Amino acid sequence: MNAFNLERSRLVEILNSLRDLRVMVIGDFALDVYWYADMTRSELSRETPHYTRPVVRENYSPGASGNICCNVKALGVREVYAVTVIGEDWRGNILRKELERNGINLDYLITSPERVTSTYIKPILCGWDSKQEDSRLDFVNYKPLPDPLEAELIEKAREVVPKVDAVIVEDQMVENGVITDEVRDGLIELAEKYEEKVFVADSRERIGLFRSMVLKPNRIEAVRAVAPSRNPQEVGIEELKEIGIKLQIRANRPVYITLSEKGALLIMDRERQYHLPAAPAEPPIDPTGAGDTFIATVATSLAGGADPLEAGMLANLAAGVVVKKLNQTGTATPNEILEKFEEASRVWTL
């Protein structure tokens, strides 16, 4: 099959198949926050020598694994299960509300006073005709996931996996996330037990430790997993293919290495590697969340019957939709993907 030859009728068939799917997303959920301060209303504090930041607007949205859930749901999937551990705090309450508003099933989400709901607050300072992002305020976990919560999370995963067609694993945090060594081993065990189901994993620091799952690292993550002494910026496509082959052999599943505006590499095995073109997207663009869109689309497409090439092309189309949604962690609907396909088909070489 030509890697670029995706017919519209086949694309519609795949997208229609997603309606009957059930998907589990397990990993590090976060809350993304934008606080807009109108600095034209600022006044000097009477207590300190500082000007105030009068917040006039607040935007909240699920981030990290939460954004993956929203992307899966936007594709039309019937049921999306969120499996994670968050804190019993005001941020967790908002995150739950936002996930529910997006139609995400929270029956298997664990809350605990021993955890902090990871939150990234971006203050936006607004002037008369300009905006500027101030230093970010982060709420993160500074302690590892306690053993009892770890065991409970693994048990929740064991309960949900038989119900779903696909599992997406998002190991977002550098440290103290919910995908601990034990949780990862438990998920690998489930992937090997339920070989008929699609498991796809993404990890910022540990992608080389996942087995029996489709992998979705970006260029930096792939290079660091296989050739940590190499500078990722100096690694060309041919060397990146060799790195992808090593990851594919470890995982015994296809590997997608995302390359931002250069598309993605699909590594099937030592004989089959494909450079999939990115969908056209003229500046201005915002790449925030495009990786979440990619993994959501790959996992659901594979579960819906697409082959790896088709799934990769469809994921690039979806990512091409999202990068045009500025200042937000956007999603891509089937209609938007079809519109992007019409645009892409005029520039892709068949």
Over residues 111-133, the pLDDT tens digits come to 999 999 999 999 999 999 999 99
The pLDDT tens digits of the residues spanning 232-291 come to 999 999 999 999 999 999 999 999 999 998 999 999 999 999 999 999 888 887 887 899
Digit-coded pLDDT (tens) for 157-210: 999 999 999 999 999 999 999 999 999 999 999 999 999 999 999 999 999 999
pTM beyond cutoff 0.85? yes
Q: How far apart are CA 344 and CA 349, in angstroms?
A: 10
Higher-scoring residue by pLDDT: 347, 186: 186
* Residue 221 Cα to chain centre, angstroms: 14
Question: Over 50: is that where the pLDDT of 2 sits?
Answer: no
Tell me the mean pLDDT in the region 329-339.
Answer: 93
Torsions phi, psi for 23 (to 5 deg): -130, 140
Confidence (pLDDT) at 288: 78
In percent, how much of the chain has pLDDT > 70? Answer: 98
Question: Does residue 1 register a pLDDT over 50?
Answer: no
**CATH number 3.30.70.1560 given to 8-30+62-117+141-344:** no
> Which candidate, 112, 74, 117, places its Cα nearest to that of 94?
117
Distance CA 350, CA 193 (A): 39
pLDDT at 350 over 70: no
Structure confidence at residue 349 (pLDDT) = 57
pLDDT, the chain, mean: 95
Contacts of 320 (CB under 8 A, 6+ apart): 278, 279, 280, 281, 340, 344
Query: Does the pLDDT at position 3 exceed 50?
Result: no
Q: What is the pLDDT of residue 324?
A: 86
Burial of 346 (0-12, 13-18, 19+ CB in 10 A): exposed
Question: What pLDDT shows up at residue 346?
Answer: 82
Give residue-wise pLDDT tens across range 13-63: 999 999 999 999 999 999 999 999 999 999 999 999 999 999 999 999 999
The residue to which tokens 């992808």 are assigned: 244
Residue 4's pLDDT is what?
60
